[in-house]
Amino acid sequence: NAGVTQTPKFQVLKTGQSMTLQCAQDMNHEYMSWYRQDPGMGLRLIHYSVGAGITDQGEVPNGYNVSRSTTEDFPLRLLSAAPSQTSVYFCASSYGRGGNYNEQFFGPGTRLTVL
């Protein structure tokens, strides 16, 4: 298993550009989520999904779109990049409910710089 993979690892954008951060998992996890980590801070939830076709907003959703057309993939779209979106982005996944504790698996992160 590759686990949770994210591409690209690094990206530099200009203000106003759009792009998609890719996230994929091969563990058949129902739940997936996106977090951002600003310098010296903890991770904050952007969007999450509890299954294909189902997404919802987290703490800091503005400026980002998500969709979940398959169980494996959960892309994060920046519509019009702003310097405030300079951050490290983490994707995570886990099994859904089932009465048991289900560990979150994190991807390696994407470092995004918006100039």
Partner 1 sequence: AQTVTQSQPEMSVQEAETVTLSCTYDTSESDYYLFWYKQPPSRQMILVIRQEAYKQQNATENRFSVNFQKAAKSFSLKISDSQLGDAAMYFCAYRSARRAGNMLTFGGGTRLMVKP
Q: What is the binding site for partner 1 (CB under 8 A)?
A: 31, 33, 35, 40-45, 48-50, 56, 58, 88, 90, 92, 94, 96-97, 101-104, 106, 108-109, 111
Q: How far is the CB of 42 from partner 1 (least distance, A)?
A: 3
- Rounded (5°) CA angle 64-68-74: 65
Taking the least distance from each CB to partner 1, the nearer of 12 and 80 is 12
- Nearer to partner 1 among residue 80 and residue 113 (C-beta): 113
Q: How far is the CB of 80 from partner 1 (least distance, A)?
A: 26
Dig out the tokens for 16 from the structure: 């106003």
Are the beta carbons of 4 and 24 closer than 8 angstroms?
yes
Query: What SS3 class is residue 12?
Result: strand
Which DSSP state fits 83? G
